[in-house]
Structure 1
Amino acid sequence: MSGITHDYMEEYLRGLIGDREDELYELEKYAEENAVPIVQKEAGKFLEFMVSMKKPKKILELGTAIGYSAILMSKAANGNADITSIERDENMVSIAENNISKYNFNDKIKVIQGDCLEILEKLDGKFDLIFMDAGKGHYNHFLPHCLRLLAEEGIIISDNVLFRGMVATNDLVKRRKITIVKRMRDYLETISKDKDLITTIIPMGDGIAVTKRR
């Protein structure tokens, strides 16, 4: 469990969501068996809902892993969104591209291998939705580039912002995670107090922040 909400609550909500019966179920099993972090079940449902509601034409994802969330977003958009996903790990890129090809999403999802910050510096164009799920200690570094790339009415969805509850209370902080926690707190302070932005933070999954311009 995430440490964000009571275990009984997470179990109940995940029970309501139920199990998938498509390619995403296969990817969930692979992730579980190979200890690959993907979006938690309720966070995935929230992401699916937001894409379905927002109907973005262009999506930017930071952190591809095995391609789970990119495929989830493409399905939620009914194939009407072009998705660019950035992943640093070459092995993950290979697995993701194989999954994207296997399930016939090649024409909608493009994976770029490289450091997120370096790739962001070179990207141009505008994105209707940006999903931030890469290096948790670097969200503050990603933010200026994401705002530059964000369409006027676009939204940024940031995952893992409460980081197993550690961001909200020092009682849970583990020594080896202090730097990440401090940086995530700085990120949440920035997006919450910037007068040009409006942000809501949701204690779901591992913590989700949704940000847009005022």
Structure 2
Amino acid sequence: MSAADFLLAPEVQKLLKVVFAEPMNRFSVAELEKRTKLNPELIEQTQEHLLQSGILCRHKSKADEQEAVGANTSFVFYNELRTIALKSFAAAEPIRAMLRSKFKDSVLRAFVLGEDKDATVELLVVHGQLVPEESEMAAACRKLSTSIGRHLDVHVISSTRYAALTARDDLTLKLAAPFAIEVVAEGDTKAKAPIERGGLLQSARRKLAALGR
């Protein structure tokens, strides 16, 4: 099996999802079993390969603690792996799941714009007819931030504002950057796009016509 094939293995992705979501934490086999739902033998085999590859590092256990592993931040490809994790399973997936479950009636589209050196993930949320409750969005993002080990910098704009973005807009430049990824596409949720002014007029005309019959 090649290194690339190994990194694409489901058990590796499950383990790295946990580790890269909280890169400063340490994880015992028991904790990884709880988080990944994998059996202990497979976890030990997988983490041993990742340890030998330098992706993980081992932390010595104390007398009353189990041996633990964590992300090796000195690994030569650590930043690249974090980028992959951000785009695929460590940050994007939890963000997508949160928005699609808690804000399915208001979030029309959403994009992860990138992550800075301080582990702050920038998120653009585009709402439809309904606007997400500010306090609810803030609370959900705080909870998620704790879960994934990253701060969230969230921009919430209307679909009308999104459609009006120009090439010179800062958000347009960020959306065009290679690290940007769409985590919620239009149609993924129950959110509805605003009715255009012309559409409202046509609707009113149809109602008047019906009343005149």
Per the normalisation by structure 2, the TM-score is 0.31
Larger Cα-atom Rg: 2
